[in-house]
């Protein structure tokens, strides 16, 4: 038999979630099935959705222009449903490196990147990314040269952000699927850049 | 534009660290119901214009270490902005 580990009481937030969910079900606002389906859908949405958008922008110059002009519409063009997401795509160039943070809470383009990593929600990342971005990026293994400006986007209100990284050298002639395989979640938050291994 | 150096109670989407700082408008994002009103269960209308404002990091943090071109961009509602 598997050892389930030591007994751990529910946390405050787990209790809150259970209480609220049971109340909503009792009042007929939602059903348990609907909650379970939504949780499942959220778990299934991964950063591969965002990677598809980036790869398309790398191979199609006109698509890239549309993406930078209206991120939400450009995602819909690829059949990616992004309800309620007002997406701003910010482009890395040889002169500018972009990175995303939400200092107030943990706003994140979940529809494109899935559930945010724990560190994105940590006080450490949220407070230091605006204060000393170069030091934080270095901790992710990303050294940005002094001649490249760092543009930090604090996602404080209604927009959500996605970084469009630069297409790495050595990828000429690659198709979209292969290109997309280079685009990690961290590349689209701006704490990493795509690399050909 | 300068961000108001105000400290009202409630659900405010203007971070403390940027209040009283001066930056330039990068773009208008559109108009959105005022979150401070929404949090009070009111309709938040009329919608408030929302701007993205660009601040030089050296203006935000006097001891900032990095390029003088480094910036932070933040969404600020119009009622939080004033002419310096």
All domains of chain A, ordered by start, with CATH? Answer: 12-44 (no CATH), 48-189 (3.90.330.10)
> Which residues on chain A are in Cβ contact (under 8 Å) with B32?
157-158
Q: Which of B17, B29, B66 sits opposite A159 (nearest CB)?
A: B29
Alpha helices in chain A (DSSP H): 12-26, 32-44, 48-59, 61-69, 71-77, 110-113, 118-121, 123-131, 133-139, 176-180, 185-189
Q: Which of B17, B35, B65 sits opposite A132 (nearest CB)?
A: B65
CA-CA distance, A60 to A68, in Å (whole number)? 12
Q: Give pLDDT tens digits along chain A (197 positions).
A: 577 788 888 999 999 999 999 999 999 999 999 999 989 988 888 999 999 999 999 999 999 999 999 999 999 999 988 877 789 999 999 999 999 999 988 888 888 999 999 999 999 999 999 999 999 999 999 999 999 999 999 998 888 999 999 999 999 999 999 999 999 999 999 999 999 98
| Dihedral sign for Cα atoms in the order B32, B35, B41, B44 | negative
Q: What single-letter DSSP state applies at residue A148?
A: S
A62: helix, strand or coil: helix
With contact defined as beta carbons under 8 Å apart, do A88 and A71 qualify?
A: yes
A-B CB pairs within 8 A amount to 77
> Which residues on chain B are in Cβ contact (under 8 Å) with A104?
13, 15
How confident is the model over B20-36, as a mean pLDDT?
A: 92
* Cβ contact A157–B71 (<8 Å): no
Domains within chain B, CATH numbers bracketed: 2-82 (2.30.30.50)
Neighbours of A20 (CB within 10 A): 10
| The pLDDT of residue B41 is above 80 | yes
What is the ipTM for the molecules in this complex? 0.92
Out of A54-63, B41-50, B58-67, least confident range: B41-50
Q: What is the reported pLDDT for A1?
A: 56
Catalytic residue check, A106: yes
Q: What is the reported pLDDT for B38?
A: 87
CA A125 to chain centroid = 15
If you measure CA to CA, which chain A residue comes closest to B35?
A157
With contact defined as beta carbons under 8 Å apart, do B35 and B49 qualify?
A: no
Pairing of strands B48-56, B24-32: antiparallel
| The pLDDT of residue B33 is above 80 | yes
Contact residues of B toward A, CB < 8 A: 13-15, 17-18, 29-30, 32, 35, 50, 52, 57, 60-61, 64-67, 69-77
């Amino acid at each position: 038999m598997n050892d389930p580990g030591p007994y751990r009481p529910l946390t405050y937030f787990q209790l809150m979630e259970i209480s609220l969910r049971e109340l909503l079900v009792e009042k007929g606002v939602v059903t348990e099935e609907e909650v379970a389906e939504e949780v499942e859908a959220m778990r299934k949405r991964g950063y591969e959705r965002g990677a598809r958008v980036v790869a398309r922008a790398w191979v199609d110059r006109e698509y890239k222009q549309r993406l930078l002009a209206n991120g939400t519409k450009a995602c819909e063009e690829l059949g990616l449903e992004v309800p309620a997401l007002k997406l701003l795509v910010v482009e890395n160039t040889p002169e500018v490196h972009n990175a995303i943070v939400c200092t107030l809470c943990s706003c994140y383009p979940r529809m494109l990147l899935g559930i945010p990593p724990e560190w994105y929600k940590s006080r450490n990342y949220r407070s230091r990314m605006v204060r000393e971005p170069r030091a934080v990026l270095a901790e992710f293994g990303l050294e940005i040269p002094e001649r490249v400006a760092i543009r930090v986007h604090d996602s404080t209100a209604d927009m959500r952000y996605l970084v469009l990284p630069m297409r790495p050298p050595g990828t000429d002639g690659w198709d979209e699927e292969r290109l997309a395989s280079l685009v990690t979640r961290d590349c689209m938050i701006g704490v990493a850049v795509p690399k050909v291994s | 534009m300068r961000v108001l150096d105000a400290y009202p109670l409630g659900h405010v989407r203007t971070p403390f660290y940027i209040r009283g700082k001066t930056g330039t408008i990068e773009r208008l994002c559109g108009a959105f119901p005022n979150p401070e009103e929404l949090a009070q269960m009111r309709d938040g209308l009329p919608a408030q214009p929302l701007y993205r404002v660009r601040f030089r990091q050296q203006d935000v943090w006097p001891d900032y270490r990095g390029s003088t071109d480094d910036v932070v961009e933040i969404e600020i509602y119009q009622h939080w902005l004033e002419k310096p």
